[in-house]
Amino acid sequence: MADQPEGKKRLPSQENLLLDYARRLEKHKDGRKIVILHLSALRPFNRRDQHIRAAASNFDALVSDMTGQLFTMLNADIFFIFKSEALAEVETIVQKIKYLFDDDPLVAEEDKQTQSFASWYDAATEYDSFLQLVQGMAQSEQDRQTAVRARMDSRAALKAKQKQGEPMTPDVLARVETALVRADLSNLVRRQFVCNVDSKMVPTQSFSELFISIADLRETLLPGVNLTANRWLFQHLTETLDRRMLSMLTKTDSISISGEISFNVNLATLLSKEFQSFDDNIAASRRGQMIIELQKEDIFSNLSSYVFAREFVQDKGYRVCIDGMTLETLTMIHRERLGIDLTKLVWDPELVDGGEEVHSLLKRVVEEEGSEKFIMIRCDNREAIDFGKSVGINLFQGRFVESLIAEDGRRREMLRLKRRIERN
């Protein structure tokens, strides 16, 4: 479209751009030559992004003075189409790039290879075979994309089925929801602690999240059915679970809710009669010890309801936590403007891989908003805690934290025993 500066947003693949260029080349093929650097044949560790970029940058001068056009394919091959008079210069550059990779078998054992490092074409005489080659590349890129998706589609569905059971249907949902009205769920309520972890990996409990174990619910009600297979049906199910959770929280004899607790609810639940009666039945002082966790998609499905509900619950003394944030959504969603008290950031090893840039970004966000507002969740290993601490996060939740608590418990028990022995 002519009226939109969209080049920066949508980048057509280099394969397609090259195809486009190759078609237009037909009219100007005289006096043009082409060199293809087969970097795709390099060993994987030699064709990382930085290697390809370094190789391509050798052509910068010729590209900027319009002597030639450069295309880098997804498979790392480089195409350079240039005016014939620059041939000597281009040959020197290609030689230079070759030296960059002289420890790779493609170059080091050149005589044993079926694939050469570079191939040369003269557009004037070999235009047709060049065009064919480019067409083939564009087509295979398209096929690859289609194949990846097809594989993801059926393979992922099969895998999910084998691992998690038959997918959920509306029929099954109706049965589950009917069963839920009568079922005693108190033995399915799980508690996971959010802890401060010190430098010696000793945890101190801050609050605990209460939730209904979906895996156990499935085992109890409908073994062999994957309750989470369809996002929207599952979301509907959670509204029923919300109501059951609230009624259990009201009857304190059914589950123990000592200390500060958090629980997940839907926005619709906060505005329902069930929440009103829950709120009526708990001691006013308890509200200050309760944290309500909400999902971003729920918040953005009805923002004016959210703003109203948040005002309402915060005024009563509850705190509001946004769950399931990632680095991307952390910077995208204005949590302060939303009046969020706490943010749960999902641990992902990619955060470490993101390098210094991600590191300092996260550090700045945590520092600006206050480290007490952040909780790193789904911490499966020590790396999560180490990374979190390095960006200023002190609160953690997840399997690894649970194991730290267990370990700490054992240590205290040992200490107690030891003291008793010493006293005797």
Candidate list 116, 129, 139, 142; residue touching another protein; CB under 8 A? 142
| Buried/exposed code over 163-173 (b: 16+ C-beta within 10 A; e: otherwise) | ebbebbeeebb
Structure tokens at 374: 């952040």
Give me the helix-helix angle, 87-100 and 49-57, nearest 10°. Answer: 150
d(CA 293, CA 9): 34
d(CA 30, CA 180): 77
Residues numbered 190-249 forming contacts with another protein, rule: CB under 8 A: 230-233, 235-236, 239
Q: Using CB under 8 A, count the residues that bind another protein.
A: 57
Binding of residue 135 to another protein (CB under 8 A): no
Angle at 111 between CA 110 and CA 116, to 5 degrees: 50
Cβ atoms within 10 Å, residue 399:
13
Closest listed residue to residue 128, CA positions, set 22, 16, 17, 33: 22
Closer residue to another protein (CB): 250 or 326: 326
Query: Strand, helix or coil at 255?
Result: coil
Backbone angles phi, psi at 355, to 5 degrees: 80, -170
Closest listed residue to residue 27, CA positions, set 131, 102, 109, 108: 131
Stretch that binds another protein, among 61-69, 205-213, 252-260, 306-314 (CB under 8 A): 306-314
What is the nearest approach in angstroms of another protein to the Cβ of residue 238?
9
What is the nearest approach in angstroms of another protein to the Cβ of residue 271?
5
Measured CA distances, 199 to 116, 222, 344, 389, 394 (Å):
55, 44, 21, 9, 10
Task: Answer for the pair 88, 77: CB distance below 8 angstroms, yes or no.
Answer: no
Binding of residue 49 to another protein (CB under 8 A): no
Binding of residue 414 to another protein (CB under 8 A): no
What is the nearest approach in angstroms of another protein to the Cβ of residue 209?
20
Binding of residue 5 to another protein (CB under 8 A): yes
Backbone angles phi, psi at 227, to 5 degrees: -65, -25
What is the nearest approach in angstroms of another protein to the Cβ of residue 308?
6
Stretch that binds another protein, among 12-20, 58-66, 100-108, 368-376 (CB under 8 A): 12-20
Candidate list 331, 360, 381, 390; residue touching another protein; CB under 8 A? 331
Residues numbered 153-192 forming contacts with another protein, rule: CB under 8 A: 153-154, 169-171, 173-174, 177
Binding of residue 128 to another protein (CB under 8 A): no
Q: Where are the beta strands (DSSP E) in 213-254?
A: 225-226
What is the nearest approach in angstroms of another protein to the Cβ of residue 322?
11
What is the nearest approach in angstroms of another protein to the Cβ of residue 377?
16
Binding of residue 131 to another protein (CB under 8 A): no
Q: In what order do the strands lie in the sheet with 118-122?
A: 68-72, 78-83, 32-37, 118-122
Q: By rule CB under 8 A, what string of x and - marks binding of each residue 272-291 to another protein?
A: x---x---------------
What is the nearest approach in angstroms of another protein to the Cβ of residue 12?
6
Torsion, CA 299, CA 340, CA 212, CA 183, rounded to 10: -60
d(CA 275, CA 281): 10
Binding of residue 9 to another protein (CB under 8 A): yes
Closer residue to another protein (CB): 205 or 240: 240
Closer residue to another protein (CB): 270 or 401: 270
Chain residues binding another protein by CB under 8 A are 1-6, 9-13, 16, 142, 145-146, 149-150, 152-154, 169-171, 173-174, 177, 230-233, 235-236, 239, 271-272, 276, 295-297, 300-301, 303-304, 307-308, 311-312, 315, 326, 328-329, 331-334, 337-338
